[in-house]
Amino acid sequence: MAQKSISETQREQMFPVLDPSGIEKLKRFGELQRYPSGELVARAGKPNAGLILVLSGHLCVTPPGTPDAPIAVIGSGGFQGELMQLSGLSSLVDCRAEDDVEAVLIPPKSLRTLMIEEAELGELIMRALILRHAGLLEQNVGGPIIVGRAGDRDVLRLENFLRRNGHPYQSLDLETDSSAKTLIEHFNIQPPDLPTVLCPDGQILRNPTENQLARHIGLTRVMDASTVYDVAIIGAGPAGLAAAVYGTTEGLSVVVLDCHAFGGQAGASARIENYLGFPMGISGIELMERAYTQAQKFGAEMAISEEVEKLVQEDEFVLHLKSGSTVRARAVVIACGAEYRRLDISNIGPFEGSSVHYWASPVEARLCTDQEVALVGAGNSAGQAAVYLASQVRKVWMIVRGNGLAATMSRYLCDRIAAQPNIQILTRTEVSGLEGISGSLKTIRLKNRDSGEETEHPLRHLFLLIGAEPNTNWLAQSGIEVDAKGFVHAEALQDGDRHPFETNRAGIFAIGDVRAGSVKRVSAAVGEGAQVVAALHSFFAQNRPTGNPAKIPGSVQA
C-alpha cells in the first residue's frame, strides 16, 4: 500500500480555519487589503508581502505556472503563507484571488511579533507553515529544475546545496529525459553551460554558483550595508544557530552568514541518536532545520551562501563578503566550524563531488544503489554514515587505520555496525590510490599498514568521514590568534580582561568546533551558542555605542 502524503494525513493542520476570536486577534497585526478576482497575490520566485488572512472570498494556491492544479483553496478564516514568510523571502507557490477577496495582510515583522505575543495562535500558524513546507518538499513543488547528467559533480553540488537548505527542486537527466533534451535545444544550451537551472520565475541560470542560485530563487537577499546589527554570526551550524536563537530572544539584532548551508557538519549526519530529548533519534538535517526555523521565528536574519573573505574594524566591525556586499555589526561571533579533512592523495580532486563524498545523504545513496562502496573513518560521523549506507547499498567496506572502532566511536554505534551483515571492517588499512577517468572512480587501492601489501577493489564510490580541520584560513589577515592546528584561541571561562569565548580582539568571539579546546559534539556546540550570549551582553554593557545603531527590520526586542 502506498504511503499517504503529508497533505493527506495532516490536511487540517496544514490549512486550519480560525474561529471568530482567532480572526479578531490576528486583525490587529495587519492591514485590510482587497484583491480583485484574478489578481496574482503571490508569485513563485518573488518576495512575498506577508501572511494573508482571508475575511471573505477565496485564494487559490497552485504550483508555479500551473493554475489548473490547485494545492489548496483558502476561504474565510483561513490564511495563505509559507515558512519563508518569516524572513520575507521568495514564495515557492503561486496564489491567485478566485473571486473578490477581502483580507488582512500581516507583514513578516508583524508576523514574528504575533508569534511572540499570541503564543497559542503562533503555535498553530507555525505548525501550519512547517507542514506546508514539508508538503512542498515531499512533492518537489516550487523549486528550480536542474538539467544535466545524473551523477555529474556540478549537478550533485547544486542538488546537495538545495537539499541541505530545505528547498525543493527537480532534476532532469539529459541522457534519459526527453523534456531535458527539449529544454537544451530550445535555449541553445552548450556543454559548458551544464548543468542549467530553470528557476520558478522563468530565468535560466547556466552552471551557476550556489550564491547565484540562492539569489535567483530568493533563498537569500542582497545585504544592506547601511544596517548595523548587534551581532554578526559567521557559521550556521549548531553553535551559530543556538547563538542566533538565544541572542534574538534576548533582544539582540542578529544576522547569520554561512557560505554553504545551515546545519554545518551536523546537518549532514544521517541520524543523531544521542542528542538529549530525542530518544528515537533524529536526522541531522531535521534537527538543524528546526533550529534554523526557530532562529527566524525570533527575528534572526539569514544570509546563506554568503562567504566572509575579510573582517576589519572601523567604528564597528565590517565583514567583506565574496559576493561584494558588506555587513556591519557591533560584535562578531565566529562559529564557522570545520572543513572536511581530505585524503593525502594527489589525484583525489577530479573525483570529489562525483565519486568521492564527504557526507552520506539520499543524493549520494541514490548513486550507489545496489553497489558496494568504501567508507573511511572510525568516529561517530563515520558510524552513522555506515549504518545509513548499509540500508541503501549492497555492501559497505569500512576502512579503519587503527585496530578497531571501540576507542573512537560510541558504543551504541559499534554494536549497530556489528549487527549489520553487509558492513565489513578492514582494520589497520588505508587508501593508497584512486584510479578512474573523467571524474568517475573505477578502482580503489588499499594498503595494509602492517604488511605494506596493496590490493585493488573495483569500487565506484568512496565516502570520507575522517574528521575535520578548522575553517579559519580567511582569518589570516584579521589578527585573530589561532593555535598550531588553526583553531581559534578563546577560553570558555573569564580570562583576565577577556569575556568568556572572547578572542584576543575585543568584541570578536569564537564558539563551537572552530574554538581551540572545544568538545566536538552537537550538544556542546549548542551549549556554547547559548553561553556566548551572556558574554555578548557583558561586552555591550562595557562598550555602549555613542550613536544609535540601526536595528534590522523586524528584530524582536525583549
Query: Amino acid letter at 8?
Result: E
pLDDT at 545: 60
Banded pLDDT at 69 (limits 50, 70, 90):
confident
Banded pLDDT at 339 (limits 50, 70, 90):
confident
> How distant, in Å, are the alpha carbons of 173, 192, 199, 272, 506 from that of 177?
5, 19, 18, 36, 57
Q: Within 13 Å and on the Cβ side, how many CA atoms surround 68?
A: 0
> What are the pLDDT digits (tens) for 363-415?
899 999 999 999 999 999 999 999 999 999 999 999 999 999 999 999 999 99
Residue linked to cell 536542474: 146
What's the maximum distance between 2 C-alpha atoms anywhere in the chain? 80
Banded pLDDT at 2 (limits 50, 70, 90):
low
Distance between CA 509 and CA 526 in Å, rounded?
15
Judged against a pLDDT cut of 80, whether residue 85 lies above it is answered with: no
- Phi, psi (degrees; rounded to nearest 5) at 499: -80, 160
Domains of the chain and any CATH numbers: 6-139 (2.60.120.10), 145-216 (3.40.30.10), 228-339+469-542 (3.50.50.60), 349-466 (3.50.50.60)
Judged against a pLDDT cut of 90, whether residue 228 lies above it is answered with: yes
Tell me if 142 sits within 8 A of 92, measured CB to CB.
yes
Cell for 139?
Answer: 512533492
Contacts of 440 (CB under 8 A, 6+ apart): 151, 351, 354, 355, 460
Alpha helices in 500-555 (DSSP H): 522-542
Across the range 131-159, mean pLDDT stands at 92
> What are the pLDDT digits (tens) for 168-195?
999 999 999 998 989 898 889 999 999 9
> How distant, in Å, are the alpha carbons of 160, 215, 238, 367, 432 from that of 360?
11, 27, 19, 11, 22
Collapsing DSSP to helix, strand or coil, 379 comes out as coil
165 vs 88 pLDDT, higher one:
165
Contacts of 222 (CB under 8 A, 6+ apart): 215, 325
